[in-house]
Amino acid sequence: MLDLAILAIFPGVMIFAAISDMLTMKIPNLASIVLAVGFFIMAMTIGMQWSMIGWHLLAGALMLVLCFVMFNLGWIGGGDAKLAAATALWLGFGLLPSYGVFASIFGGVLTLAILQLRQMALEGPLSTTPWLARLREKSGGIPYGIALAAAGLVVYPDTAIWIAARTF
């Protein structure tokens, strides 16, 4: 059962958040809430020490503050900020640099791909697909939740929860 939770909670929510952001340019608050609650459930299940839980909580809180500064500057969306903070809760301070590097790389590739998509002419059913039309809007944003989710999934196997659960 623990294996199922490890494979379902974090990866499942990250995939859901990425797909939601791609299709609607929104990441539901529920995704961040499930990540936060799921972290505490998993931390208790694997017997994570309270001090370590505290450090993970601090990492999430500091990420939330940093991301809301970026949100207020118009650099990222609110859903992105909440998703990054909830992800930081799972990662802790040790994995945040790797997460940031991967999110930047994936975000850059995603941005270039969408800019290229905006230059292409689409025909047939693709030209009338609502989410694709939204991505193609010249003044539209970039669904950065895709990059945040991909980065989280790459770093996830190095988390304390994943490593501790493998020993059960």
Contact in structure between 136 and 117 (CB atoms under 8 Å): yes
Range of the structural domain that residue 60 is part of: 2-166
DSSP H helices, the chain, are 2-24, 29-46, 50-72, 78-119, 130-136, 145-155, 160-166
pLDDT at 40: 95
Q: Which pTM was predicted?
A: 0.92
Confidence class for position 1, pLDDT limits 50, 70, 90: low
Locus of tokens 């459930």: 41
Confidence class for position 132, pLDDT limits 50, 70, 90: confident
Pairwise CA distance, residues 126 & 128, whole Å: 5
| Residue 168 clears pLDDT 70, i.e. is over it | no
Count the helix, strand and coil residues of the chain and give each as a percent rounded to the nearest 5: 85, 0, 15
| Residue 165 clears pLDDT 70, i.e. is over it | yes
| Residue 49 clears pLDDT 80, i.e. is over it | yes
The pair phi, psi for residue 66, each rounded to 5°, is: -60, -45
As a whole-number percent, the residues of the chain with pLDDT over 70 amount to 96
Contact in structure between 154 and 95 (CB atoms under 8 Å): no
Tell me which residue of 25, 6, 13, 3 sits closest to 76, measured CA to CA.
25
- Mean pLDDT across 143-165: 93
List pLDDT tens digits, range 71-115.
999 999 999 999 999 999 999 999 999 999 999 999 999 999 999
From residue 65, alpha-carbon distances to 13, 59, 123 in Å are 22, 10, 43
Question: Given phi > 0 = left and psi -120 to 50 = alpha, else beta, which region is 8?
Answer: alpha
What six digits make up the tokens of 149? 């989710």
Q: How many independent structural domains does the chain possess? A: 1
Contact in structure between 148 and 84 (CB atoms under 8 Å): yes
Pairwise CA distance, residues 18 & 165, whole Å: 25
What letter represents residue 67's amino acid? C
